[in-house]
Chain A
Amino acid sequence: MHDILHRMTQGQASEDDLAMLEELAGLLRETSLCGLGQTAPNPVMSTLRYFRSEYEAHIRERRCPAGHCKIEAEVYA
């Protein structure tokens, strides 16, 4: 999951990665043995729920609406 998120911030992720991110988060939440594993994907899942457009902007438009990730320069250079 960290690998996928990292690639998103670099502007190198695809739509498949977004689907896999959701699947992994769901798997982790449902099959984990301990409470840490069960709640670890919560930040990803809640941002996916409320800020899905930002994820999509990183993938489709290769830009970061919040201006945090430095991907513009690499893509347009």
Chain B
Amino acid sequence: MSVKTLEIDGKMVTGVAGTTLFGVAWDNGIHIPRLCHIGGLSDVGACRLCLVEIEGQKRLQPSCLTAVEEGMVVRTDTPKLKAQRRLIVELLFAERNHVCSVCVMNGDCELQELASELGIDHVRVRYQNPSLAVDITHERFGLDHNRCILCTRCIRVCDEVEGAHTWDMFGRGTKSHIISDLGQPWGESDSCTSCGKCVQVCPTGALFNKGVPVAGMRKDRKFLKYIVTAREKKQWIE
């Protein structure tokens, strides 16, 4: 197992070969923002929030998909990156109807936390105010497309951990949205095992437990690490 030495934000750090820049940065206390990454699932680099500057490379690279290399010089927090992240999050807010005051996840939402971290107190682009459906056909859970940011965590956890692959992405561009099975209502899905993993990994209130009041939902994401560790190391440890 070889170890690579690199520089992130002026700090000398080491990472095992094959690990990502994102993981090494977080291990060393450099918290790169993210919405689509979640420890234990594969990475897709879809949210574009973990983009970093790497010296000698013209383009920005998603740190969750970039492996550490010897002698890399990485910057994660330049004013330009901050401005871009801010605009990306503003676009997320403008794209759908994210109304925190009536959301079950108010106070524990990753999108909300990120927005306040980036100092977003207003959105400079026009709200699209799309008219989107809410699927409450499932017995225990609900899906609100208005709050979905298309991070695809639910799709990945259902496929990779539960093995059901109930969720998938449908449509393109502004019309993209997640569907269960072949577009049937969630409650009529044959493949769904009602395990609720998708609900727990969802960063916003798009997937929620039914019957929870506003700001009453708290998600438990520890289970994922528990299951993945058990699978990889054959040890049932936290």
Q: Is B124 an interface residue (CB 8 A)?
A: yes
Beta-carbon contact of A30 and B84 below 8 Å: yes
Alpha-carbon distance A33/B45, docked complex (angstroms): 8
Number of interface residues of B (CB under 8 A): 13
Bound CA–CA A33/B48 (angstroms): 8
Give the contacts of A16-60 with B (CB-CB under 8 A): 16, 20, 23-24, 27, 30-33
Q: Interface on chain B toward A: helix, strand, loop, or mixed SS?
A: loop
Q: Is A74 an interface residue (CB 8 A)?
A: no
| A16 to B45 CA separation, bound complex (whole angstroms) | 31
Q: How far is the CB of A47 from chain B (nearest CB, A)?
A: 20
B45 and A31 within 8 A (CB): no
Q: How far is the CB of A26 from chain B (nearest CB, A)?
A: 8
Q: Is B60 engaged at the interface, CB distance under 8 Å to the other chain?
A: yes
A-B contact count (CB 8 A): 23
Are B125 and A31 in touch, CB under 8 angstroms? no
Q: List chain B residues, Cβ under 8 A from A33.
A: 45-46, 48, 62
- Select which of A20, A31, A32 is within 8 A of B124 by beta carbon: A20
Whether A30 contacts B60 in the complex (CB less than 8 A), given A20-B124, A24-B125, comes out as yes
Which residues of B are found within 8 Å of A27, using beta-carbon distances? 84, 87-88
A2 to B, closest residue via Cβ:
B174
The chain B residues found within 8 Å of chain A, CB to CB, are: 45-46, 48, 51, 59-60, 62, 84, 87-88, 124-126
Give residues in A with beta carbon < 8 Å to B.
3, 16, 20, 23-24, 27, 30-33
Q: List 10 A-B contacts (CB under 8 A).
A: A20-B124, A27-B84, A27-B88, A30-B59, A30-B60, A31-B48, A31-B51, A31-B88, A33-B48, A33-B62
